[in-house]
Amino acid sequence: MLRRFTPAAAVAVAVAATGATAASEEGGRREATASLGITINQGNTESQRYHLSAEYLERSNAHRYSANLELNRGQDDTGEEDVNNSRVGVGYDRFFHGPWYAYSSASWRQDRQADLRQRYVLSGGAGYQFFDSDRLRLSAETGPTYVSEQTIETEERTREAAARWALDYRQDLAEETLRLFHRHELIVVTNDVEQWFLTTRTGLRLPLRANLSASLQLNYDYDNSPPPSAESDYDATTLVNLTYSW
């Protein structure tokens, strides 16, 4: 089911590898997670759903590197594909004055049901790290952005200047028992504020044993100006995953 490997995925691997070297040299910390969710219904309802995601983070005193990957595939009870979307992202942050940092990020996304062949988002700007500990992490960032998008049905390609606002929050509600997390990214096209899209990831993670945990997560993506052939202006997915961290 998961056959596509994009150039952005190769960039993600390269950035993660570079980050590992830099953080190791400066005594930083490393975090990595991989999550898998599979739902197969048989009997009166025949359907299949597959979800795979991974995240990687390297942090030293002055540098932070990140990479993420997300794949979703599914078939309905007639065997027709009704879920096919992917996302890859990479980022680099340079801390230069206390909690302030300069960021750069790149992402690639596709969604067949949303008539989206590909969307590239490149952004750079300023961020502020409110908290950054094992128990609590909170940061926000904003900056100018470039968006390149192509539809599947008409193959129309658009290139727009935009603005980006993002937030990353993670907190352990109780030590080694329950973790709450939320991330969102809002992109608004500057010459038409009616064109905007939002990506959010919110959930709870419960440790099971050693490095294994279970998570309940809501993925919500909204496009305020989707292509006319898109099936809907939003995607909302509730996931129950097994997550391995190291």
To the question of domain 7-245 being in CATH 1.25.50.10, the answer is: no
Among positive and negative, which fits the CA dihedral 171, 132, 164, 12? negative
The pLDDT value given to residue 38: 85
Domain ranges (residues) in the chain: 7-245
The pLDDT value given to residue 40: 72
This model's pTM is above 0.75: yes
The pLDDT value given to residue 78: 85
* 10-residue mean pLDDT series, the chain (246 residues): 38 40 57 89 73 96 96 90 95 95 98 95 98 95 98 94 98 88 98 96 94 94 91 90 93
